[in-house]
């Protein structure tokens, strides 16, 4: 069986890496990888760490490219790749423009599609944008749906997708996280980036780890976050560490407001192992990222989500995450409350899985080919 894995962003690469390595163990599978490089530099970091060499690299990233131009060029380029490879199955992941356009290209050629991390829904097409529609669109095209949770499975069933085409596996990001955590803990393992962070960040303060990159937070939402962080950083017991996303919509505003401010450490976008290390060192995490909401429970970390709605309700229901929106006062109050009262979780059971999702995906493919 010939399988083509397609992805284009750092989060996809992280979550597809353990699937790739499990598939490579199967003698009866011929596995190929195609990356669109929708995110170039951040994607390459993950490929290097997880030792994945793409068979096809479309290298499509352009400065300030629009969603329409990116969609068109992915669809056009994938046509020739798919006709050359002639895979029996294309595996895509999650909610990116790469995922939805690759799925469409495969559908047009009559190629079977497997969707990993299927079934997530916010039920609001603007939040997150464009990810919510990408997910729904990909679900309409996919033949096999690998869901991470019961909620995701139920979402698909309500949309009329047959139960026999849904395989609930947990989320592969937990596989990647646990592998990475073990790797960076190995005796003798050293990463210059982590060593530099150790020299930069004070160890005697409560670290507030921050990320932000969602389109809906560009402008006012991001400005509110920065103003809240300036207030929080006035506390003597706190350090704010912010790996700043490469997107100019994030970089320009964050650096204008937070550069050279006391107790605030702006660092370049972290490689995945370095970011896992940062999560381990943090007291709490403030983010609009979906993946971090899934990873943090396995590390026993509390997460404040600077969004008004999340397609990952399981973490909220389990008490690991709080949805706090993007108002400055609410962000400040939520951070202060955790800084002053959070003493850890008594029962750390990650609702997104235990680290065997990739194995379950491959087991299904082995038994159904």
Span 314-336, average pLDDT:
96
Say yes or no to pLDDT of 340 above 80. yes
The predicted pLDDT at position 265 comes to 98
Per DSSP, the residues of 300-311 read: T-EEEE-SS--S
Say yes or no to pLDDT of 369 above 80. no
Span 71-83, average pLDDT:
96
The CATH superfamily of 2-171+353-367 is Glycogen Phosphorylase B; (3.40.50.2000)
- In CATH, which of 3.40.50.2000, 3.40.640.10, 3.40.50.720, 3.20.20.80 is domain 191-341? 3.40.50.2000
Q: What φ, ψ does residue 243 adopt, rounded to 5°?
A: -70, 115
First to last CA, the chain: 7
Residues of the chain with CATH 3.40.50.2000: 2-171+353-367, 191-341
Is 117 in the active site?
A: yes
Span 109-127, average pLDDT:
96
% of the chain with per-residue pLDDT over 90: 88
* Catalytic member of 21, 245, 307, 312: 245
* Catalytic member of 10, 93, 95, 135: 95
The rounded distance, in Å, linking the Cα atoms of 12 and 290 is: 12
Largest distance between two CA atoms of the chain? 61
* Catalytic member of 44, 57, 213, 235: 213
> Comparing C-alpha atoms, which of 249, 221, 273 is closest to residue 49?
273
Is 95 in the active site?
A: yes
Helix (H, G, I), strand (E, B) or coil at 91: strand
Span 63-82, average pLDDT:
94
Q: What φ, ψ does residue 258 adopt, rounded to 5°?
A: -115, -5
The rounded distance, in Å, linking the Cα atoms of 333 and 140 is: 41
* Catalytic member of 44, 143, 215, 327: 215
Q: How many helices (H) does the chain have, and how many strands (E)?
A: 15, 13
Q: What is the pTM of this model?
A: 0.94
The predicted pLDDT at position 218 comes to 85
Give the distance from CA 93 to its chain's centroid. 10
Tokens (6 digits) for 187: 């005796």
* Catalytic member of 12, 117, 132, 314: 117
Span 100-128, average pLDDT:
97
% of the chain with per-residue pLDDT over 70: 100
Is 245 in the active site?
A: yes
Structure confidence by residue, pLDDT tens digits, 194-252: 999 999 999 999 999 999 888 888 889 999 999 999 999 999 999 999 999 888 889 99
Say yes or no to pLDDT of 60 above 80. yes
Say yes or no to pLDDT of 259 above 90. yes
Structure confidence by residue, pLDDT tens digits, 119-150: 999 999 998 999 999 999 999 999 999 999 99
The predicted pLDDT at position 246 comes to 82
Span 245-270, average pLDDT:
93
Structure confidence by residue, pLDDT tens digits, 7-16: 999 999 999 9
Contact 182, 276 (CB under 8 A): no
Span 70-74, average pLDDT:
96
Query: Please, is 135 exposed, middle or buried when counting C-beta atoms within 10 Å of its C-beta (0-12, 13-18, 19+)?
Result: buried
Contact 300, 249 (CB under 8 A): no
Structure confidence by residue, pLDDT tens digits, 176-200: 999 999 999 998 899 999 999 999 9
The predicted pLDDT at position 12 comes to 96
Report DSSP state, residue 205.
S
Q: What φ, ψ does residue 93 adopt, rounded to 5°?
A: -130, 130
ω before 130 within 30° of 0 (cis)? Answer: yes
The rounded distance, in Å, linking the Cα atoms of 33 and 328 is: 43
* Mean of all residue pLDDT scores within the chain: 95
Tokens (6 digits) for 316: 């909220």
* Catalytic member of 131, 132, 295, 311: 131
Contact 85, 5 (CB under 8 A): no
Structure confidence by residue, pLDDT tens digits, 25-58: 999 999 999 999 987 888 999 999 999 999 999 9
The rounded distance, in Å, linking the Cα atoms of 277 and 256 is: 27
Say yes or no to pLDDT of 19 above 90. yes
Helix (H, G, I), strand (E, B) or coil at 34: strand
Say yes or no to pLDDT of 101 above 80. yes
Is 135 in the active site?
A: no
Tokens (6 digits) for 295: 């990873």
């Amino acid at each position: 069986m010939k399988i083509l894995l397609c992805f284009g962003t750092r989060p996809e690469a992280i979550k597809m890496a353990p699937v790739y390595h499990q598939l490579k163990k199967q003698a009866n599978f011929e596995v190929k990888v195609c990356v669109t490089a929708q995110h170039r530099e951040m994607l390459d970091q993950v490929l290097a760490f997880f030792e994945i060499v793409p068979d096809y690299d479309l290298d499509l990233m352009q400065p300030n490219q629009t969603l329409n131009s990116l969609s068109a060029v992915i669809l056009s380029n994938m046509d020739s790749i798919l006709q050359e490879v002639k895979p029996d199955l294309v595996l895509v992941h999650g909610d990116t423009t790469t995922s939805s356009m690759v799925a469409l290209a495969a559908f047009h050629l009559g190629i079977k599609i497997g969707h990993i991390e299927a079934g997530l829904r916010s039920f609001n097409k603007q939040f997150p944008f464009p990810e919510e529609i990408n997910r729904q669109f990909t679900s309409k095209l996919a033949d096999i749906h690998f869901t991470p949770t019961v909620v995701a499975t139920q979402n698909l069933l309500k949309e009329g997708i047959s139960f026999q085409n849904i395989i609930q596996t947990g989320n592969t990001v937990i596989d990647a996280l646990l592998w990475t955590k073990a790797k960076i803990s190995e005796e003798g393992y050293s990463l210059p980036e982590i060593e530099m962070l150790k020299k930069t960040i004070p160890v005697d303060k409560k670290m507030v780890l921050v990320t932000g990159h969602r389109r809906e937070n560009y402008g006012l939402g991001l400005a509110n976050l920065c103003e809240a962080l300036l207030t929080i950083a006035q506390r003597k017991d706190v350090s704010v560490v912010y790996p700043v996303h490469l997107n100019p919509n994030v970089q320009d505003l964050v650096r204008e407001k937070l550069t050279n401010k006391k107790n605030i450490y702006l660092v370049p976008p972290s490689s995945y192992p370095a970011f896992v290390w940062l999560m381990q060192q943090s007291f709490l995490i403030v983010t609009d990222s979906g993946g971090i909401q899934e990873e943090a429970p396995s590390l026993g970390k509390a997460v404040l989500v600077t969004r008004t709605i999340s397609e990952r309700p399981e973490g909220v229901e389990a008490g690991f995450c709080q949805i706090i929106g993007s108002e400055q006062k609410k962000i400040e109050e939520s951070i202060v409350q955790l800084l002053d009262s959070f003493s850890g979780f008594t029962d750390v059971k990650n609702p997104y899985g235990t680290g065997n999702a990739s194995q379950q995906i491959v087991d299904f493919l082995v038994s159904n080919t």
